[in-house]
A and B are shown apart, each in its own frame.
Chain A
Amino acid sequence: MTDLLLNASSFLLSGFMALTLGQVVMILAGGGLLYLGIAKGYEPLLLLPIGFGAVLVNLPLTGLMEHEGLLRFFYDHGVLTEVFPCLIFVGIGAMTDFGPLLHRPGILLLGAAGQFGIFLTLALALALGFTQLEAVAVGVIGACDGPTAIYVTSKYAPHLLGPVSVAAYSYMSLVPLLQPPIMRLLTTKRERAIVMKASKESVSRPVRVLFPVVVTVVTCLIAPKGAPLMGMIMLGNLLRESGVVGRLAASAENEIPNVVTLLLGISIGATMQADQFLRPATLLVLALGMVAIILDTVMGLLFGKLMCLLSRGAINPLIGAAGISAYPMAARVAQVEGMKYNKRSYLLMHAMGANTGGQIGSVMAAGIMLSLLQGLGMG
């Protein structure tokens, strides 16, 4: 009887006995993400499931990420197959109004400049000793676009999925803190105070409906490997703009991204296993992720200054910072900063145009990168 009791109690204590220091650290890290999401409100939709997934996967003897484990199932069938990020894109497309961009198409170029950080960080990652495919995954954090980062990383460097996703999502929520000092550093007070005129042109319904179809055709002809991403975002937008499939549009905007965000978040959290996450490379990935977003902002602002010069002061360069894909935070930051220097300055709609341009730009940049890698025999 005593032996039986001892055996039973040792069984109940086996979890405690198997707990390693690394797992404790990662459970605390998961707790940190939960704190940021719940108490600070930073991207709670993602940081909450990611944080909980990180806690869960680092509990010993649970087998959640082993063969046939629950989280392994979500990861294998949703992340590695790239289904989750693509479904999230349907939701993003359904939630995005490309109207401000269609009002002023030239602003789309800011969405291109806002992606330059991807490529500059890629070069930096190579210089720091990452392998070529790892550098691609690290650079793509600069897309400021979680699903794109996950899509590319799961394809080329799945072992970096944890740090890349955490960096992509957490820095996205830090855009309101990261961007303003760079904006003030790179622009003059006079530039920041520029009032942009509202566009008088309207956009007809056929243009709004045709836009997602035409963009899909043009971009996928240029970069076919980006088709899953661009195709899905534009499908979501077509559901929204067509006006004839209200139920599908509502699902694309709500139910689909809600369910997928939950599963994607917990699957990403599950990649934060102590033995794989606690490595010097992780810290380097997190640091380079921040560099990527800073470089995006710098390049967007510099391009904004160029457009300001070419338009003889008609464009406020602050909207260049909104050329990154963090939607709609980056647009709001441009609006708030503009208002600080001129109370009559309403940059929001223009910045929204640049911001939606950034969404197209980030997917386009990823598509071009994927197509290039295929061309180099690495895809």
Chain B
Amino acid sequence: MNNWDFGLTLTLVGMGGTLVSLWVLTFVMKAMKRLFPVKLDKSAGTGSGEGK
């Protein structure tokens, strides 16, 4: 493979691959946050209810 093809392949696939991989990871992170949301503290919940 000549230098031109090599450089172009690595630059395009490298930049594109890194961007797409991290984009996929953002969805994975969002999915994890949905699957395991923060559980609200019961006492805090009661407290806010009392204030209404």
Q: Judge whether A123 is part of the interface by a CB distance below 8 angstroms.
A: yes
Residues in A neighbouring B28, C-beta threshold 8 A: 214-215, 218
Given the interface pairs A135-B7, A202-B38, A204-B37, the reply to whether A210 lies near B32 with Cβ below 8 Å is yes
**What is the minimal beta-carbon distance from A129 to any residue of chain B, in angstroms?**
9
CA distance A113 to B20 in the complex (A): 11
Q: A361 touching B26 by the CB < 8 A rule?
A: no
Residue from B6, B21, B23, B27 within 8 A of A219 (CB atoms): B21
Residues in A neighbouring B37, C-beta threshold 8 A: 204
CA distance A113 to B22 in the complex (A): 10
Residues in B neighbouring A83, C-beta threshold 8 A: none
**What is the minimal beta-carbon distance from A7 to any residue of chain B, in angstroms?**
56
CA distance A346 to B26 in the complex (A): 23
**What is the minimal beta-carbon distance from A65 to any residue of chain B, in angstroms?**
32
Residues in A neighbouring B21, C-beta threshold 8 A: 112, 218-219, 222-223, 364, 368
What is the size, in residues, of chain B's interface with A at 8 Å between Cβ atoms? 31
Q: Judge whether A126 is part of the interface by a CB distance below 8 angstroms.
A: yes
Q: B36 touching A105 by the CB < 8 A rule?
A: no
Given the interface pairs A365-B14, A368-B17, the reply to whether A108 lies near B38 with Cβ below 8 Å is no
A131's nearest neighbour on chain B, judged by CB, is: B3
Interface of A is mostly: helix
CA distance A211 to B33 in the complex (A): 10
Q: A112 touching B33 by the CB < 8 A rule?
A: no
Given the interface pairs A126-B3, A210-B36, the reply to whether A372 lies near B13 with Cβ below 8 Å is yes
Q: Judge whether A115 is part of the interface by a CB distance below 8 angstroms.
A: yes
Q: Judge whether A236 is part of the interface by a CB distance below 8 angstroms.
A: no
Annotate A344-366 by CB proximity to B: 1 below 8 A, 0 otherwise.
00000000000001001100110
Residue from A120, A136, A203 within 8 A of B38 (CB atoms): A203
Given the interface pairs A132-B3, A201-B33, A207-B33, the reply to whether A361 lies near B22 with Cβ below 8 Å is yes
Residues in A neighbouring B32, C-beta threshold 8 A: 207, 210-211, 214
Q: B29 touching A105 by the CB < 8 A rule?
A: yes
Q: B26 touching A105 by the CB < 8 A rule?
A: yes
Annotate B17-51 by CB proximity to A: 1 below 8 A, 0 otherwise.
11101111111111011001111000000000000
CA distance A111 to B39 in the complex (A): 30
Given the interface pairs A102-B29, A132-B3, the reply to whether A364 lies near B10 with Cβ below 8 Å is no
Q: Judge whether A376 is part of the interface by a CB distance below 8 angstroms.
A: yes
Residue from B3, B6, B25, B39 within 8 A of A108 (CB atoms): B25
CA distance A365 to B19 in the complex (A): 9
Residues in B neighbouring A135, C-beta threshold 8 A: 7
Residues in A neighbouring B15, C-beta threshold 8 A: 115-116, 119
Q: A108 touching B29 by the CB < 8 A rule?
A: yes
Residue from B6, B8, B14, B26 within 8 A of A118 (CB atoms): B14
Residues in A neighbouring B25, C-beta threshold 8 A: 105, 108, 215, 218-219, 360
**What is the minimal beta-carbon distance from B25 to any residue of chain A, in angstroms?**
6
Q: Judge whether A106 is part of the interface by a CB distance below 8 angstroms.
A: yes
Residue from B10, B23, B33 within 8 A of A136 (CB atoms): B10
B6's nearest neighbour on chain A, judged by CB, is: A132
CA distance A218 to B23 in the complex (A): 12
Q: B19 touching A112 by the CB < 8 A rule?
A: yes
Residues in A neighbouring B4, C-beta threshold 8 A: 126
Residues in B neighbouring A102, C-beta threshold 8 A: 29, 33
Residue from A109, A122, A204 within 8 A of B10 (CB atoms): A122
Question: What are 24 pairs between A and B in contact, CB < 8 Å?
Answer: A105-B26, A105-B27, A108-B29, A109-B19, A112-B23, A119-B10, A119-B11, A120-B11, A122-B7, A122-B14, A123-B7, A123-B8, A203-B38, A207-B29, A215-B28, A218-B25, A219-B21, A223-B17, A223-B21, A360-B25, A364-B22, A368-B17, A369-B14, A372-B10
